[in-house]
Amino acid sequence: MERYKVVVIALGGNALIREEQQGTIEEQFENISKSLDGIIYCLKKGYSVVITHGNGPQVGNMLLMAEASRGLIPEISLGICVADTEGAIGYTIQQSLTNRLRKEGINKCVVTVLTQVVVDKNDNAFSNPTKPIGPFFKKEDAERLQYEKGWHIAEDSHRGYRRVVASPEPIKIIEVNAIKSLLEAGAIVIAAGGGGIPVIEKENGDLEGVDVVIDKDLASSILARVIKADRLIMLTGVEHVCLNYRQSNEQVLTKLTVEKAKKYLHEGHFPPGSMGPKIQAAINFLNYGGELAIITSIDKVREAMEGVSGTKITLY
């Protein structure tokens, strides 16, 4: 029996919330509906599709709500925030895509899988929290929370003080067999939203949530590898990867080998907070058997799949 082709499509934050918007539910539904053309194109080309997505603004909003209601309701852990937003965003994509499939005459079910992603409890990232989350605090409030809750606090771009958490490497997808089964049954699967719900494995094998965040693209790469996807497409706000981005000597890259990608990454061309994780995710995916990784904008999926847009990253 011929193996079906699989593509993992990682939706960037601008698929849900645009910079100039407030991020209302209505805006998010509208944005998602406008971001589905690439998914429909892949389906019509015969690919089985897995969708991942970011959740940074949504988790930030949940933490803001938690701070505003401090003392009124029980505190919400970061892991629960990730799980809540993974479900809510999954619902948004699931409903929007289901409506679009009906209009296109495509008879497929869309399923959201709340996905637990294992991180190593001994990862060095735990001792060096760097990822800012949640609201800004005044210095005195930040120091109080640091004392009361044991939070790590850091100044963020001279705008105030924020909680910072670890961002360890993802190492395993717990629900991988369920995702494979759904794909084999012909479903479109939404999984590993926001990088997945971070958990560690205890000595007795039990899973336990941890208050960290997992990079969405690195988790997408892990997922793509374990389900043996052929292609990994990471969608962001730019059409191409560039060297010297937004500088006078900016250079557009339409194709990269893993070797070149590693070189540019180590030279610092791709910062950790923007393009760096996407490049590392592509390298990881290709080193473990992936066929092709593509980085492009949300509205250029068709052109990128046809080889006339985006940045293609290949093993050689």
> Which of the residues 12, 31, 90, 278 is marked catalytic?
278
Neighbouring residues of 292: CB distance < 8 A, sequence distance ≥ 6: 230, 231, 232, 286, 312, 313, 314
Closest Cα partner for 62 from 39, 78, 38? 78
Rg (Cα) of the chain, in Å, rounded? Answer: 19
> Which of the residues 13, 79, 195, 290 is marked catalytic?
13
Please count the residues of the chain: 316
> Which of the residues 54, 60, 90, 131 is marked catalytic?
131
131 is catalytic: yes
Q: On the CB side of 33, how many CA atoms lie within 13 Å of its CA?
A: 11
Structural tokens at position 309: 């847009």
What number of other Cβ atoms are within 10 A of residue 155's Cβ? 14
> Which of the residues 38, 216, 290, 312 is marked catalytic?
216
> Which of the residues 14, 31, 55, 284 is marked catalytic?
14
284 is catalytic: no
Closest Cα partner for 9 from 93, 88, 105? 93
| DSSP bridge pairs for 76 | none
103 is catalytic: no
Strands (E), the chain: 5-11, 47-53, 110-113, 116-119, 131-137, 152-155, 161-165, 170-173, 188-191, 197-201, 207-209, 231-236, 241-243, 251-253, 255-257, 292-297, 311-314
Q: Which amino acid is at 240?
A: H
Structural tokens at position 5: 């082709």
Q: Which residue numbers are catalytic?
A: 13-14, 131, 216, 278
